[in-house]
Amino acid sequence: MQHAKNRRQRATARAIPFPAREMVILTFLMALAAMLTGCNTVEGAGQDVQAGGRAIERTVN
């Protein structure tokens, strides 16, 4: 019985402490959100550039 208890204590000591685990998860979620909103921002900027190009073409013609 003592051997199993020692194994659990060692496993717990190696695990990421709760506040650090929260920070890892929070950091991952924030990075994911930044990447997803970044894609939308780049797509919107591309659409703006296309609209500007069309306006220039209409002005020239």
Q: 29 or 44: which carries more pLDDT confidence?
A: 29
47 φ, ψ (degrees, to nearest 5): -65, -40
Cα dist from 27 to 11, 13, 14, 23, 36, whole Å = 24, 23, 21, 6, 14
pTM of whole model > 0.85? Answer: no
Q: For residue 4, what pLDDT is reported?
A: 58
Residue 49 above 80 pLDDT?
yes
3-38 per-position pLDDT tens digit: 555 565 555 556 666 678 888 899 999 998 888 777
Q: For residue 2, what pLDDT is reported?
A: 54
Question: Which structure tokens are listed for 57?
Answer: 């073409």
Sequence spans of domains, the chain: 2-60
